[in-house]
């Protein structure tokens, strides 16, 4: 990554590479992630494949002109066909499928409205899974995507940053009432708004907007918050997936859901309003992320303790190669 963020660019883990809504059966997407050209496709029966975009035959880009034929992705150059796992299963000429005719595919899961792919610097299989949420009482996903000059760790670190809420998001400062705890790939904190944490001249007037929040990171690719504004009966789930594009930029894919209210029309209205607010809040973070530099050894005060736990937790996702963070 650039001198501004001297971290290895691709921590190991699960990343969102597409939203389920973007990928109808028969659809093929070309996408650059992890400094690599990927083809992302959905077969007619609904299976999703994520693979190296370049055909092992003569190297055509399968994301430009590749088509779905039944359960296979067909190359636009000579018609070889690959199944979702990457194996070549059919050739329109020649007698034998060469063993090398295989797309380098990534492990894939599709859950809770997103397509996730596992990226490991050594190509190892995933040793852990992303959480599968019971979304049966959630409103439909509302999403927005941004391309931002930053690194996943910088975006995730927001979940350890209690003081920025007041200054970047214009809300009360928060404090942990539980955690932070680090259990394997999950970093979790329970937070509550506490206006009194700030010196009196910085406090916002008490407008009743006290929030209780569970903030979590799941691996290096997802930071999320489940938030209830006290007394409102409204609980929102905001997921922010961050996926490196190359050594300089990342995709941010924000997905919002609301726990359904009794009245479906009210659910839709509140979900629309809430997602607009959450998207605006993430957009407030973007200029900070795009211009800040990564401090390996930040000057922290006693309220900044969660940063220490976060930095210790996030190390596990870096390649074990020499020189890694």
Binding at 158: pick from Fe ion, ligand FES, none (beta carbon under 5-8 Å per type): Fe ion
Of 14 and 82, nearer to ligand FES (C-beta) is 82
C-beta of 93: minimal distance to Fe ion in Å?
56
- Cis-peptide into 180, omega within 30 deg: yes
Of 62 and 226, nearer to ligand FES (C-beta) is 62
Binding mask 141-160 toward Fe ion (x if CB under 5 A, else -) reads -----------------x--
Q: Which of 78, 164, 169, 311 binds ligand FES (CB under 6 A)?
A: 78
Binding at 55: pick from Fe ion, ligand FES, none (beta carbon under 5-8 Å per type): ligand FES
194 contacts 212 by C-beta, under 8 angstroms:
no
> In sequence order, which ranges of the chain are alpha helices (DSSP H)?
152-156, 164, 264-291, 306-314
- Decide if residue 58 touches ligand FES (CB under 6 A): yes
CA 12, 16, 18, 24 dihedral sign is positive
- Decide if residue 75 touches ligand FES (CB under 6 A): yes
Q: What angle do CA 18, 24, 26 make, to 5 degrees?
A: 115
Calpha distance 32→154 (Å, rounded): 20
Using the rule CB under 6 A, give the single segment among 74-82, 108-116, 218-226, 229-237 that binds ligand FES. Answer: 74-82
Calpha distance 148→307 (Å, rounded): 22
Binding at 146: pick from Fe ion, ligand FES, none (beta carbon under 5-8 Å per type): none
In the window 184-203, what residues touch ligand FES (CB under 6 A)? Answer: none
Of 93 and 122, nearer to ligand FES (C-beta) is 93
- Decide if residue 89 touches ligand FES (CB under 6 A): no
H/E element, 49 = strand 48-52
Of 75 and 162, nearer to ligand FES (C-beta) is 75
Tokens of 58: 């003569």
Calpha distance 140→268 (Å, rounded): 9
C-beta of 22: minimal distance to ligand FES in Å?
24
H/E element, 242 = strand 235-244
191 contacts 169 by C-beta, under 8 angstroms:
no
Using the rule CB under 6 A, give the single segment among 52-60, 130-138, 207-215, 251-259 that binds ligand FES. Answer: 52-60
User: Which residues form the interface with ligand FES (CB under 6 A)?
Assistant: 55, 57-60, 75, 77-78, 80
């Amino acid at each position: 990554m650039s001198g501004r963020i001297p971290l290895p660019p691709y921590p190991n883990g699960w990343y969102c590479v597409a939203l389920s809504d973007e990928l109808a059966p028969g659809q093929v997407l070309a996408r650059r992630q992890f400094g690599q050209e990927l083809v992302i496709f959905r077969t007619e029966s609904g299976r999703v494949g994520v693979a190296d975009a370049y055909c092992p035959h003569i190297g055509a880009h399968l994301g430009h002109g590749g088509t779905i034929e039944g359960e296979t992705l067909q190359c636009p150059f000579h018609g070889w066909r690959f199944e979702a796992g990457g194996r070549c299963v059919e050739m329109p000429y020649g007698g034998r499928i060469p063993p090398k005719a295989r797309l380098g595919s990534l492990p894939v899961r599709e859950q809770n409205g997103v397509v996730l792919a596992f990226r490991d610097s050594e190509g190892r299989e995933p040793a852990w899974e992303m959480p599968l949420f019971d979304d049966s009482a959630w409103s439909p996903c509302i999403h927005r995507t941004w391309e931002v000059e930053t690194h996943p760790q910088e975006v995730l670190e927001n979940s350890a940053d209690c003081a920025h809420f007041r200054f970047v998001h214009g809300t009360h400062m928060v404090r942990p009432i539980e955690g932070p705890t680090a259990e394997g790939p999950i970093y979790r904190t329970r937070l509550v708004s506490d206006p009194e944490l700030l010196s009196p001249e910085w406090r916002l007037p008490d407008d009743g907007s006290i929030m209780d929040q569970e903030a979590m990171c799941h691996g290096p690719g997802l930071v999320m918050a489940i938030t209830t504004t006290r007394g409102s009966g409204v609980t929102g789930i905001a997921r922010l997936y961050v996926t490196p594009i190359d050594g300089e930029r990342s995709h941010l894919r924000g997905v919002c859901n609301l726990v359904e209210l009794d009245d479906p029309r009210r659910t839709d209205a509140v979900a629309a309003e809430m997602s607009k607010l959450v998207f605006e809040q993430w957009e407030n973070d973007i200029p900070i992320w795009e211009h800040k530099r990564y401090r390996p050894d930040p000057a922290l005060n006693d309220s900044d303790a969660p940063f220490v736990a976060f930095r210790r937790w996030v190390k596990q996702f870096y390649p074990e190669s020499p020189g890694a963070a």
